[in-house]
Amino acid sequence: MEKIKTTELSIVILCYRAEEEIIPFVEEIKSLVSAMSDSFEIVLVGNYIEGSLDRTREVIAQIAQTDTCFQTVCKPKEGMMGWDMKEGLAIANGKYLCVIDGDGQYPVESIRSCYKEIKSGKYGLVKTYRRRREDGIIRTSISVIYNLLFALLFPYVRSKDVNSKPKMFTPEVYEQMQLTSDDWFIDAEVMIRLGQMGIPFYEFPIDFYALKGRSSFVRFPAIVEFMKNLFLFRFKKYRL
């Protein structure tokens, strides 16, 4: 039975290992979204690796205890970003669904722009692309190469920056995508699925901020995994 959507807007924030750094970020998100709609929820995903010292689940549990607009998902990890994203979306009840990383690199105001465009009804998904990046020449170069390779393998998608967030879409589009990735490849899978189904999307430019307080979780093995999955999706697996 299809779940009845009683909320206008769901914001899913991926909080992995954010700990106390997530507090000002979610406060900023709430301030923005409460000015956009009277009907919203914010889903905080704090899935964790068992045995780690990650305190994120305790931090977001405290946030949710003091404010009913927040929901939390805190489970032992069975995957990485893709699994976290799907776990958060599984409990989201909005007519519009938005996913954003909780590390503060994406401008919060971009959520408002996504919401304005998705409500026009012209697109199944609205997202950003990173016009200017402050996260260093190495990460920028890797992203450029990755997006060029993606464009060669999937020319029908025509996205400027497949991994960029926030991404906002309708529940109907999310269900149609039938996402399978449990790892960092899920952003690319979203765009591949859209292209395969011919669902129109819109993307607009943002400035991407430097990461503060820690190094990126995207290491060399994750980059190799990205590349491997590009070829698996193109030539072997996951065709509709």
Q: How confident is the model at residue 3 (pLDDT cuts 50, 70, 90)?
A: low
Q: Are 84 and 14 in contact (CB under 8 A)?
A: yes
pLDDT of 7 over the 80 cut: yes
pTM score over 0.85 = yes
pLDDT of 218 over the 70 cut: no
Q: List beta partners, residue 42.
A: 11, 70
Q: For the chain, what are the domain ranges?
A: 7-235
What is the tens place of the pLDDT at every residue in 160-190?
Answer: 999 999 999 999 999 999 999 999 899 999 9
Please list, in sequence order, all residues whose beta carbon lies within 8 angstroms of the beta carbon of residue 105, skipping any fewer than 6 positions away.
135, 208, 209, 210, 211
User: What is the pLDDT, as a whole number, of residue 235?
Assistant: 80
Pick the CATH number of 7-235 from 3.90.1170.20, 3.90.550.10, 3.40.1280.10, 3.40.50.11540: 3.90.550.10
Q: How confident is the model at residue 232 (pLDDT cuts 50, 70, 90)?
A: confident
What is the tens place of the pLDDT at every residue in 16-71?
Answer: 999 999 999 999 999 999 999 999 999 999 999 999 999 999 999 999 999 999 99
CA atoms within 13 A on the CB side of 40: 20
Please list, in sequence order, all residues whose beta carbon lies within 8 angstroms of the beta carbon of residue 158, skipping any fewer than 6 positions away.
151, 195
Distance between CA atoms of residues 75 and 130, nearest Å: 31
Please tell me which residue, 129 or 5, carries the higher pLDDT value. Answer: 129
Peptide bond into 166 cis (omega under 30): yes
pLDDT of 240 over the 50 cut: no
